Structure formats: structure tokens, C-alpha cells
Amino acid sequence: MKKAGELLARVMKEVGKKVKPGVTTKYLDKAAEGLILKYGAKPNFKGYQGFPATLCTCINEEVVHCVPSKRKLEEGDIVTLDGGLIFKDFNSDMAVTIAVGEKISPETLRLIRVTKKALKRGMKKVRPGNTFGDIGNTIQRYVEGQGYNVVRDLCGHGIGRELHEDPQIPNYGKRGQGPKIKEGMVFCIEPMVTMGDWKLKTARDGHGYQTKDNSLSAHFEHTIAVTKTGWQVLTNL
């Protein structure tokens, strides 16, 4: 799983460099698939529950699971790339939100920074004996303290031989609640943060989700392994 994570991080880093105004999300998807196959792995999103692509590509108010298309990225947009791969029967999964171009509003950049920091704060609660409620509570309190909201209808998840395994890991909750974290667990933490309300609706493509009030959304995700004393990021860029 560590190798699967390393390969995915390399793919996402290379694809992220291709994000610029005028590029289509379909182009980014094809680039990701080519790199995954080049590294001797295979996409795990493609065909999963009928999903037709390698990457989920979400622009601005879109949150998750949107299908890549011929839509071109524009100056000032933000785009979330969410991808995964299988290497020797084991899965990895990660997401990153990237600003498009250089003319990005300060409010948009702040949303990205807060979401990224929320993930880091959540990871710091990963250690044997803590609970998944500790992770969700930390993410929620930080995000809401910054004036944003965490999506309630979607969550992180366990990962291994399957892309989505138990437990489910909400980005909200109460300290001490939920299953206990144990050494050897591997799971994905993925705060999805909205600038406005956290409620969602089906996106225009009929597959993904976007914010109901059309407010901007950012999303970061890492695959995490639990060690004796804490955690290790397997999808480290």
C-alpha cells in the first residue's frame, strides 16, 4: 500500500502541473490514466459503480464525483482532482484542490488553505486509542471556526484490497465517539469544505455532487496508515 500511495502521489503531482486556463478536465483525466498505466498500476475509479473515468474532476461549486468533460478551465477557477489506483491488488486514494491561473481571489485562496490545514489537523489525531470522532471533531471545529462548513453527506473511508472499506470517517463529530483507531489500520481522511452551506445537490453531469447554494468547495484527501505511535501518509506529495 505504501508503494501504491507513492505512485499515486507522483501521478497527481504530474497531472497537477498541467492545470492551467484553457485545459479541459478530459485532458487531465487522460494524462492521469496514461501515467498510472506507465507505472504498472491500473485506475481504480474507472468502472467503479459505473464511473466512466480515471479522475473525478470538480470545478468551483462542484464537490465530488464529477465526470471529466470537454469543459475548459478558466482563469480564477479552482479544480479538485480526486484519483486512485491499484498496485498489486492494493488501493490508494487522494485528492487535491488547485487554483487555475494566477488571478485568484484572496477568499478563494483562503478556502483552499483552510481545507488543506483541516486535513493536517485531522491527521494529527490519528494514533492508536483515539477514536474517529476525535478526527471529525477536530476538522469540524477548525473549519467552522474559520467561517466555513464541512460537508455532512460524504465522508472518508477505510481502504485496502477494496477502494471503500469500513469504517466511514465523517468530517464532523464528537470527541471519544465512534470506533477506536488501531495500529495497522489504513484509511482515507478527506475534508470537503464549503464557503457557504454544506448541503448538496446533484451536479449538472448527473453523476457528481455540488453545493446546493452554488458556493465554492475545496477538497483534500490522503491515504493514512496507523503506526504504533501515530500515523504515516502513504500518498505524500
78-87/55-59 β-pairing: antiparallel
Comparing CA positions, the residue from 210, 208, 199 lying closest to residue 152 is 199
CB 169 within 8 A of CB 180: no
pLDDT score, position 13: 98
**3 pLDDT exceeds 80?**
yes
Q: Is 104 helix (H, G, I), strand (E, B) or coil?
A: coil
Query: What is the CATH topology of the domain spanning 2-233?
Result: Creatine Amidinohydrolase (3.90.230)
Q: What is the mean pLDDT of the segment spanning 143-160?
A: 98
Q: Which residues pair with 165 in a beta bridge?
A: 158
**237 pLDDT exceeds 80?**
no
Strands laid side by side in the 222-226 sheet: 165-169, 156-158, 186-189, 222-226, 231-233
Mean pLDDT value across the chain: 97
Q: Which residue has the higher pLDDT, 107 or 237?
A: 107
pLDDT score, position 6: 98
H helices present in the chain, as ranges: 2-17, 25-38, 106-123, 132-145
CA 200 to chain CA mean position, Å: 16
Give per-residue pLDDT as tens, 169-224: 999 999 999 999 999 999 999 999 999 999 999 999 999 999 999 999 999 999 99
Q: Is the omega angle on the peptide bond into residue 167 within 30 degrees of 0, that is, cis?
A: yes
Q: Which residue has the higher pLDDT, 237 or 67?
A: 67
pLDDT score, position 43: 98
What's the one-letter identity of residue 38? K
What pTM did the predictor assign? 0.96
**21 pLDDT exceeds 90?**
yes
Read off φ and ψ for residue 45, nearest 5 degrees.
Answer: -75, -35
Give per-residue pLDDT as tens, 53-74: 999 999 999 999 999 999 999 9
Percent of the chain with pLDDT over 70: 100
Q: What is the mean pLDDT of the segment spanning 138-158?
A: 98
